[in-house]
Amino acid sequence: MGITAATRIVAVIGHPVTHSLSPAIHNAAFDELGVDCRMVAFEVAPGKGKAAIAAMSTLGIAGFAVTTPLKAEVAAAVDVVDEASRSLDSANTVVLRDDGSRFGASTDGTGFVASLLAAGRELDGARVVVLGAGAASRSIVHALGETAAERITIVNRTAATADVAAALAPQAEVGTVDAVQEADLLVNTTTVGMGDPDASPIGDTDLLHSSLTVADIVYHPLDTRLLRDARAAGATTIDGLGMLVEQARLQQQLWIGDAGDASTMRAAAQAELARR
Ligand code: ATR
């Protein structure tokens, strides 16, 4: 679809932003939906989030996605945020409304939960182990806290950050990796495995079992060592594009009131990864 004077623009901002899959994913959805909207990427230096928002408002940009390391400063700079953004001090999505107001939201955690449901993984009564306690973990723990999951055990190398993550959900506690034996769902939010097909956050593969669903938010490589080990143990697996696509679909709902087809968006992400 071409760009005309009437085309609505949304953006993704980050530092660095050139690795972002968001333009490929969103533009594939806009094409498929027949919506006259395009996403472009802007490199925005840390500390310049507020200025970037003002510039985008001036230009009539409809909204934008936010990647690392700007999520906290964007959450602080907008007028209103949703409950997740407020709890996490993080916004990955902004809507620049026609009346000039700026609304911030966090779709990372809810996107993750949506990816579980899309894969048929129900959470009622589930015992969940979350590996890692960084920003991605916090958004996922917060969203899992709003489900009927029974227990969320957070396992992290650094104890202090695990405590911070555990405070975000009523069912959450800090624990050890042994909890995987009793778990229904294991989520890797650590960066272990990113860019390294041989690295896994679970060294002892005997902990993995066939009644487990294993979700890895790492998508480079897409088939991580953890997911391969999980399949070998008979577990069900969900790769990192699940969350990426579903959080993007929630962003589209906020910007255009509609969302693209998940498989179309996933294919666009895979094509972009293959092109690199
Ligand atoms: P993100 O924003 O993607 O969540 P992050 O905030 O840097 O990234 O968090 C990275 C997570 O991976 C943290 O939980 C980190 O553990 P620490 O809190 O102990 O730093 C975890 N992590 C990174 N490298 C790790 C490694 N080699 N072994 C175990 N955990 C690791």
Residue minimizing CA distance to atom 9 of ligand 1: 134
Please indicate whether residue 190, judged by its CB atom, sits closer than 6 Å to ligand 1: yes
Q: What is the pLDDT of residues 194-204, one digit of tens each?
A: 999 999 999 99
Please give the mean pLDDT across all residues of the chain.
Answer: 97
Mutate which of 191, 198, 247 for ligand 1? The one with the most ligand atoms within 8 Å of its CB, which is: 191
Please indicate whether residue 132, judged by its CB atom, sits closer than 6 Å to ligand 1: yes
Query: Residue 72 is encoded by which pair of tokens?
Result: 């906290």
Atom of ligand 1 nearest to the CA of 161: 18
pLDDT of amino acid 276? 87
pLDDT reading at 2 higher than 90:
no
As annotated, the active-site residues are 71
Residue 87 phi, psi (nearest 5): -65, -35
Sequence-distant (6+) residues with CB within 8 A of 194 are: 218, 220
pLDDT of amino acid 66? 98
pLDDT of amino acid 210? 98
Its pTM stands at 0.97
CA 85 to chain centre: 13
Q: Residue 129: beta bridge partners? A: 153, 186
SS3 content of the chain, % helix, strand, coil (to 5): 40, 20, 40
161 and 184 Cβ atoms separated by less than 8 Å:
no
Q: Within 10 Å of residue 266's Cβ, how many Cβ atoms?
A: 19
pLDDT of amino acid 103? 98
Query: Residue 218 is encoded by which pair of tokens?
Result: 């790492």
Q: Residue 216: beta bridge partners? A: 188
Please indicate whether residue 192, judged by its CB atom, sits closer than 6 Å to ligand 1: yes
Query: Residue 36 is encoded by which pair of tokens?
Result: 């006259």
Atom of ligand 1 nearest to the CA of 136: 4
